[in-house]
Structure 1
Amino acid sequence: MKIAQVSKEKKVSIDSLRYYERIGLLPPVKRIAGSTRDYSEQDLRWLDLVIAVRSAGLSLEPLIDYVQLCGAGSHTVPARRDLWVDECDLLEEKIQALQATLAQLRGKADHYEALLKGEN
């Protein structure tokens, strides 16, 4: 799949796709006709992971490490597992913080709803 089609389907700019590959978030994408990128299904799965990590607000550096670990071979499986365990822990902390914020904001909304109903 060419870069323009990937950009459209995944809603990621072409510049971002090139950047992700340049900094190591994506393994090198196969080229056809010299310089045209040809994204495989595996490349698209990598991109889906990048999109998920970004949307969760997690740091991209561990993902770069992960790409390098995967390229280094199967002896890095324990390190890959540890990386994702750590990222899951960070995400759980973020979720707990967001839930606390949500509860606080709902409390505010409920307070003003009660005021509007004259319940004090």
Structure 2
Amino acid sequence: MQIKDVAKRFDISADTLRYWERVGAIPKITRNSSGHRDYDQEDLEWVDFARCMRDAGVSIEYLIEYIDLFSQGDVTLQARKDLLAEQLDVIKAKRDEIQATYDKILNKVEHYEQQVEKYDGKLLKRN
């Protein structure tokens, strides 16, 4: 699959894909005989993983470290697990913050719904 198709599929720019590959946030992509990137299924899974992690706020540095560990093979299984567990804790904290904000806004909306029901029609009659 060509880079433009991958970019469209994952809703990221081709420049982002090139950057991720250049810095090591995804493994090197195989090139075809013309020298163009040719993404296979495994490459697409790495792009999906990187996009998911970035969307969750995981830094490029963590992705690079993870890819570096992955490339070293099974000897790094525990280190990879630890790295992901650490990020899971960070993401959970962010999720909890977002949930608290969601709950506050929901409470406000429910409050205004009650106020609107209480005064429904009365506001229109004054005009």
Kept after mapping to 2: 8 A contact 1:20/1:26? yes
Residue-by-residue CA offset, 1:13-60 (whole Å, 9 max, x unaligned): 111111111111111111122520011111111001011112222323
Give 2:18's aligned residue.
18
Q: Is the 8 A contact 1:30 1:38 kept in 2?
A: yes
TM-score (norm 2): 0.86
Count of residue correspondences: 119
Q: What is the alpha-carbon distance in structure 1 between the residues aligned to residue 104 and residue 59 of structure 2?
A: 26
CA contact 1:50–1:63 (8 Å) conserved in 2:
yes
When Rg is computed on C-alpha atoms for both structures, the one with the higher figure is 2
**Alpha carbons 1:25, 1:63 under 8 Å: kept:** yes
- The aligned counterpart of 1:65 is 65
Aligned alpha-carbon RMSD (Å):
1.4
- Aligned amino acid, residue 17 of structure 1: L
Q: Specify every segment of 5 or more residues in structure 2 that has no aligned partner in the other structure, as ranges.
A: 120-127
Q: Could you say which residue in structure 2 is the equivalent of 1:48?
A: 48
Instruction: Give me the whole-angstrom Cα distance separating, in 1, the residues matched to 2:98 and 2:4.
Output: 35
Distance 1:35 1:52 in 2: 28
* Aligned residue identity for 1:11: D
| C-alpha distance in 2 between matches for 1:6 and 1:45 | 11
Q: CA deviation at 1:3?
A: 1.0
The answer for the alignment partner of 1:95 in structure 2 is 95
2:12 match: secondary structure: coil
